[in-house]
Chains A and B, each alone.
Chain A
Amino acid sequence: MKNSSGRLDVQRLIYLRDLLRELVVRDLKVRYKRSVLGFAWALVTPLMFLTVFYFVFKVALSVDIPRFGPYAFTGMLVYSWFQSSVSQASGAITDSRELMKQPGFSAAVLPAVTVITNLIHFLFALPLLMLFLLVDGTGLKSVILLLPVVIAIQFVLTLGLGYLAAAGNVLFRDTEHLVAVLLQLLFFLTPVFYNASMVPERYQSLYRLNPMVHLVEAYRAILLGGTWPSGLDLLSLGVLATGLLYVGHKVFINLSYRFVEEL
């Protein structure tokens, strides 16, 4: 009656792709329904932040970083993708009680939906950043072909943390608030509007435990410097991200069973 298992897997993949696509599209449509600017908010928000940052750090505090606009904009786009994804993912299970109770529903797509939705915002703003770079004469080098790899690493890392946050929120509803605060603090511990080299030498090894430091630097190397990012950095980030995703997914699946029983 059934096709061979190989055929079924392909069907399953097509189905999961469709499920992700529909949920992402629903999220995007719902978010911008009835708003005047609609999807343009994906550009307006970071531009507003950038304006204030530029004023505070360049004009008022006169931080000594060349091309501060594109510099801060890169950091901000990268970090806000990460921050929005993880904080929204922390409510992925607890806010979707109905979906979780649906037989056959793959709950594991939910955190992926939030990461992809925010990735789309990120990708939407990326051309604006590139335009900045062209205008201020930096231009784009061939190393930009490496960009998808860095994006992929960030995707896996974010999704892994998203699974953990979602699962943690099932155990304790404090997780959501805790995650929001931690993400806010981590923002300051990531070189978004300053340079990592400004951190004193004796704190460097501790400071560099934050994977976002390496990610943001990799993006900047590719986009602003036109140079290859540290291969060792990327490799260890990739390994860390994959490990996190593996563990996060496992914990998530186990706790999502528990969640549907809390009825």
Chain B
Amino acid sequence: MTHAIVVEGLAKQFRSYHADRPRTLKEAFVRRLQHMQAGESFWALRDVSFDVKPGQIVGIVGSNGAGKSTLLRLIGGVGRPDKGHVKIQGRVAALLDLGTGFHPELTGHENVFVTGVIAGLTRRQVTQRLDSIVAFAELERFIDSPLRTYSTGMQLRLAFAIGIHTTPDVLLIDEVLAVGDLAFQQKCLARIRQFKADNCAIILISHDTGQIRELCDKALWLRRGRLVAQGDPESIVEQYVAEMESETKRKTPVEWPVRATPAGSVLRMHENRFGSMELEIVSVRLVDQQGRSVIEFRSGDPLHVEIDYSAPQRIEAPTFGVTISSEDDQVCADLSTAAAGISLPVLQGEGRITLHLERLDLNGGQYYVDVGAYTSNWEYAYDYHWHTYPLTVLPTNNKKGVLYPPHRWEFSDTP
């Protein structure tokens, strides 16, 4: 089978336009007088080669500024590479900046036409797909209202719905699979799988390593513009996460006051506490329905994890995570704000994040609740408390395993 996308020896150099290039004649003139050099340049991408077959999903992981978006744009034909080339078979569609072309004064209906045509559909195609787009966005009741009356979530749903109603041979997706609530996200993922089944080649940028593992046939890891590794998503993600862990260790200060938790554990750097400390987790409380701190806990009861943080500087959209693991280090639950599709605002000062577990059907035994705060793209941890908060689940009549689901037996002598 031929390739849908072939990228060979791709390199892209950026001149630091922002600071150094004169924007007006006056600036250009002043520059000349001061004998200033033209702006410095840096390589946003260097010698990147890979290919994608029709029906393949390729995931890209890498920290901010690694060149992921630049790569996607070059593949989409925005900008010109300095070296190498991109070969594309067929029509390209992109879910990069959702809502390009939206105008707040126009109705949802009018915006679907403008944006649909900008996304590459003809008017006839938009007309045919209109009902399906509106239904997908779940906006039937609002479609004739001006867009300015929509919430951000509604706008993004509409933009996404338009984007996935194109019929591309190549689809480029940049961090947009976290739109809307979980049910909507599931619908989006199902649509992506449908694209794959229809032989569309897909490139996906995501900070959600779980998504990369789950969806992709291949993964690429970019670091400072270079392709570090490519191959099986499972192993690429593992390497990437391992690097993130070592990055966290590198950033963890050695000299830092030891702290005791109310429950009597001690937090020591490099022992059970890691992170750059740009944001500190000040206290973690496991509480029951009445708001009382619990150490012992009855299976099936609700549990609330209250995390108090303190951020001396501005922290851009951090991610909070809670992991529950058994004594023998088996992970029972691994939850995060990012996986739940929640993006936190910029945090500064003090505040509290609470995870509400409606019920926790753990089997009796000894568990740990690990708590962490991470950069928005999981690059490293700000503060991570490992095996510091014990949780004892009272014995049940289940002898083995980690689950104790609510259950009952029923007997009947007629089959």
- Which A residues are closer than 8 A to B by beta carbons? 1-2, 11, 14-15, 18-19, 21-23, 25-26, 29-30, 33-34, 98-105, 172-174, 257, 260-262
At the interface, is chain A mostly helix, strand, loop or mixed? helix
| In contact, B114 and A99 (Cβ under 8 angstroms) | no
Interface size for B (C-beta < 8 A) is: 39
Q: Given the complex of chains A and B, what is the CA–CA distance between A101 and B77 in angstroms?
A: 9
List B residues 9-26 near A (Cβ within 8 Å). Answer: 14, 17-18, 21-26
A-B contact pairs, 5 of them (CB 8 A): A2-B90, A26-B114, A98-B97, A103-B93, A174-B26
Shortest Cβ gap from B169 to chain A (Å): 8
Kindly specify which of B102-110, B328-336, B368-376 makes contact with the partner chain: B102-110
| In contact, A18 and B123 (Cβ under 8 angstroms) | yes
Find chain A residues with CB under 8 A from B80 CB.
Answer: 257
Find chain B residues with CB under 8 A from A22 CB.
Answer: 113-114, 117-118, 123
Among A1, A99, A104, point to the contact of B94 (Cβ < 8 A): A104
- Which B residues are closer than 8 A to A by beta carbons? 14, 17-18, 21-26, 28, 73, 75-80, 90-94, 96-97, 100-101, 103, 105-106, 110, 113-114, 117-120, 122-123, 172
Shortest Cβ gap from B292 to chain A (Å): 52
| In contact, A260 and B78 (Cβ under 8 angstroms) | yes
Nearest neighbor of A26 in chain B, beta-carbon distance: B114
Find chain B residues with CB under 8 A from A19 CB.
Answer: 117-118
| In contact, A103 and B73 (Cβ under 8 angstroms) | yes
| In contact, A103 and B24 (Cβ under 8 angstroms) | no
| In contact, B122 and A104 (Cβ under 8 angstroms) | no
| In contact, B118 and A99 (Cβ under 8 angstroms) | yes
Find chain A residues with CB under 8 A from B22 CB.
Answer: 172
Q: Given the complex of chains A and B, what is the CA–CA distance between A100 and B96 in angstroms?
A: 12
| In contact, A102 and B23 (Cβ under 8 angstroms) | no
Nearest neighbor of B110 in chain A, beta-carbon distance: A29
Among all A-B residue pairs, the 5 with the closest Cβ atoms: A103-B76, A22-B117, A18-B123, A103-B94, A262-B17
| In contact, B100 and A102 (Cβ under 8 angstroms) | yes
| In contact, A15 and B120 (Cβ under 8 angstroms) | yes
Q: With contacts A101-B96, A172-B23, A172-B24 known, what are 15 further pairs, Cβ within 8 A?
A: A2-B90, A11-B122, A22-B113, A26-B114, A29-B105, A30-B103, A34-B105, A101-B73, A101-B78, A101-B97, A102-B100, A102-B101, A103-B73, A103-B75, A103-B172
